[in-house]
Amino acid sequence: MMRRSTVIVTTLSSPSSSSLTFSARPPAMTTSEAPPKASFTGRGDGFGVRFPADASGRRSTTAPGKAIFAAAARGVGTPEGDALALAIEGEKDWRHRYGVHATRLAELQSTASPDACVASCRAGLDAMHDILEFVSPGPGGPLDPATLTTSLREAMTRRPREATTPDAPRGGGFRTRTFRGDPSRSPPPGAIPNPRGPPDLTALARALAASGAAEPDVPAALDALDARADAWARDDLRGVLFVCLGGTSEMCPARCLLARGAAVACVARASSRLDALARFVESEAPAAAALHVPVRVPADEGSSSADEGSSSADGGASPARKSPSRATAGSGSPGADLLTDAPAIRDWLSGLEPDRRLVVGSYAYLDGGDHALVAAAMDAIASSLASERANSTLAYLSSPGTAFPIPEAAWRDAERRREAEAGTWWHAPVAFASGAPSGRFRPSAREPLARAEEVVRVHDGHMVLQGPNYALAKTSQNWRAAAVEGERRRSGGTSARVSANVAPASRTESMRHVKTVAVGLEGQKHFPPLVPFDADVASALMTALLLTDVFGPGEAEAEAEAEAEAGGGRGG
């Protein structure tokens, strides 16, 4: 399902300050799968961000993942947190029981004081940046055996630009290639166009909310955004640069933002998707749209942030109107790899459009252990940019497949659905497949917990099929959101902001290429109000919610959200 609110709101304030709702746990997927490999051999096994090797030289994902979660548990600063850290470190079946520990950690964080919660999140993030390695080639290039291995944290602190990427061993960085919109086109009416789906997103959101597949404040947010579209699109949008890390992923908002006339910096590897995005800008996006793409500078040229050529909105074409992947050899290679180029990407972005406010979105997804590594790379880039440009916003598509606090209205709605479904035929097989210790159906809405004079309710969305690497990747984003929000409150609102709305399960390639996941995704429709979303529709809806967070709610939306909260949410 889709909801409009940030994960961190209920962590740092009253648990009733948001309108989330989750039903009883949906059917779980099978847990019968191959055991984890003894040594991780994904893309992160070469240069760039990777897991550290143990004494035997193997690069397991298990020990680092456990150490990071254990550090967050100790960061709570309580005996319960210390005990949880020991339990995590001593867990013999991490692959199948990580969710138990991660959910307990979320409960400890949610019942702790705001300061202790933030300290725990920072401890987990610090451990991630200290434990994961960054490997750079030596002076002789990728074949030079004299590689440089540091922690990810140290690699991100080395400045000015140094030998951080395999293709630029002597200090090459990135320059910018810009694609601009069609000079004859104007932005479409309304807030967010959906280039590939239903034109009236607000009507769709109302239908989804009425069925329980989206929170009631989703259409309210879209209504308010549409009502203010002329104002923010005319003024505010021109002062923002949207940075999309993983900019060609299916759920990334880049295409929707460009269709509205935004400026977007797309960080992605060279691919047919990147080519298609560039063609879309030049043929279908309005004149104000600008797509910035990093182009690698050959090592012997030095680095530069200068634009190597672009097509312009005034009709003056650049010398080379070509797709990113068709750049000439003399201009260097297009695209950038988040795993191997993280420090250089940060350097490129830090000097891009310095007069604009940054909205840095983390959207990349990779399979297995690489997902945890790319999440760490994105976090290193985003947090570094936020520290340099204090008016930035960090944006995430939060996952319902983690554990986090929910408001009372959400919990009560889940309980109502569970009671109505008591004895339903699928409870027993779901309990068996999900490995419930008691053998009984286990709802995702946990039992209430006490925090000072309040009651906290936590949602447990972990599923064994997703695995501990997915949990680490998405939980670390929750941690960063909480840490940034905590700093913003401490600074009186002068530091970076967060947008972290929960995205629904959607028909993306990453969800459909595993048969078991694909079957489970499509099977949701048999358990209303759950529905699988088309990726294009979900992306457009989530883009609208992102813009609502970036440009701030108006009075009408604030009133609508208050009314929705008072009446309780609806969800699936």
Q: What values do phi and psi take at 329, rounded to 5? A: -60, -30
Report DSSP letters for 412-442, one per residue.
Answer: HHHHHHHHHTTT-TTHHHHHHHHT-TTSS--
Give yes or no for residue 293 having a pLDDT over 90. Answer: yes
Q: Kindly state the average pLDDT of the residues 562-570.
A: 44
Beta bridge partners of 49: 134
Sign of CA dihedral 141, 146, 147, 148: negative
Closest among 550, 536, 564 to 251, alpha carbons compared: 536
- Each residue's pLDDT tens digit, 42-98: 665 578 999 999 888 899 999 999 999 999 999 999 999 999 999 999 999 999 999
**What is the distance, to the nearest Å, from the Cα of residue 258 to the centroid of all Cα atoms in its chain?**
19
Q: Kindly state the average pLDDT of the residues 313-333.
A: 45
Predicted model pTM: 0.84
Query: Greater confidence, 509 or 36?
Result: 509
Task: Report d(CA 370, CA 473) in Å as an integer.
Answer: 9
What is the predicted pLDDT for the residue at 322?
A: 54
Sign of CA dihedral 525, 531, 532, 537: positive
Determine which of 30-39, 362-371, 395-404, 479-488 has the lowest per-residue pLDDT on average.
30-39
Query: Greater confidence, 486 or 172?
Result: 486
Dihedral angle computed from the Cα positions of residues 484, 486, 489 and 494, in that order, rounded to the nearest 10 degrees: -20
457 phi-psi bin (left φ>0, alpha ψ -120 to 50, beta other)? beta
Enumerate the H helices of 285-337 as residue ranges: none
Under 8 Å between Cβ of 201 and 301:
no
Q: How confident is the model at residue 365 (pLDDT cuts 50, 70, 90)?
A: very high
Residue reference for tokens 């009733």: 16
Determine which of 70-74, 266-270, 416-420 has the lowest per-residue pLDDT on average.
416-420
**What is the distance, to the nearest Å, from the Cα of residue 98 to the centroid of all Cα atoms in its chain?**
20
Q: Helix, strand, coil % (nearest 5) of the chain?
A: 45, 15, 40
Task: Report d(CA 157, CA 173) in Å as an integer.
Answer: 16
Is the link from the previous residue into 529 a cis peptide, with omega within 30 of 0?
yes
What is the predicted pLDDT for the residue at 328?
A: 35
**Burial letters 379-414, b for 16+ CB under 10 A, else e:** bbbbbbbbeebeebbbbbbbbbbbbbbbbbbbbebb
Q: How many residues does the structure list for the chain?
A: 572
Token pair in block for residue 369: 């252990």
- The residues near 387 (Cβ < 8 Å, ≥ 6 apart) are none
- Each residue's pLDDT tens digit, 501-544: 998 887 777 776 777 777 777 777 777 777 878 888 889 899 98
179 phi-psi bin (left φ>0, alpha ψ -120 to 50, beta other)? beta
Share of the chain above pLDDT 70, in %: 72
Determine which of 201-210, 411-420, 483-492 has the lowest per-residue pLDDT on average.
411-420
Q: Is 271 exposed, middle or buried (0-12, 13-18, 19+ CB in 10 A)?
A: middle
Q: Kindly state the average pLDDT of the residues 305-310.
A: 51
Query: Greater confidence, 82 or 417?
Result: 82
Task: Report d(CA 134, CA 1) in Å as an integer.
Answer: 36
Determine which of 6-10, 339-343, 472-476 has the lowest per-residue pLDDT on average.
6-10
Report which DSSP code applies to 250. Answer: T
Is the link from the previous residue into 400 a cis peptide, with omega within 30 of 0?
no
- Alpha-carbon distance values, 548 to 228, 280, 530, 557 (Å): 10, 24, 25, 9
Q: How far apart are the first and last CA of the chain?
A: 6
Determine which of 48-62, 122-136, 309-323 has the lowest per-residue pLDDT on average.
309-323
What is the predicted pLDDT for the residue at 330?
A: 36
Report which DSSP code applies to 33. Answer: -
Q: Kindly state the average pLDDT of the residues 357-374.
A: 95
Q: What is the mean pLDDT of the chain?
A: 79
- In one-letter notation, the amino acid at residue 67 is A
- Alpha-carbon distance values, 552 to 184, 187, 321, 338 (Å): 30, 21, 37, 30
Task: Report d(CA 210, CA 232) in Å as an integer.
Answer: 28
CA angle 59, 65, 66 (to 5 degrees): 115
What is the predicted pLDDT for the residue at 201?
A: 82
Give yes or no for residue 253 having a pLDDT over 50. Answer: yes
Give yes or no for residue 559 having a pLDDT over 50. Answer: no
Centre a 10 Å sphere on the Cβ of residue 436 and count the other Cβ atoms it contains. Answer: 15
What is the predicted pLDDT for the residue at 427?
A: 64
Angle between helices 114-131 and 467-490 (to 10 degrees): 130
Give yes or no for residue 199 having a pLDDT over 80. Answer: no
- Each residue's pLDDT tens digit, 140-195: 666 666 688 999 999 999 754 443 443 333 335 899 999 999 998 887 666 666 66
Q: How confident is the model at residue 236 (pLDDT cuts 50, 70, 90)?
A: confident
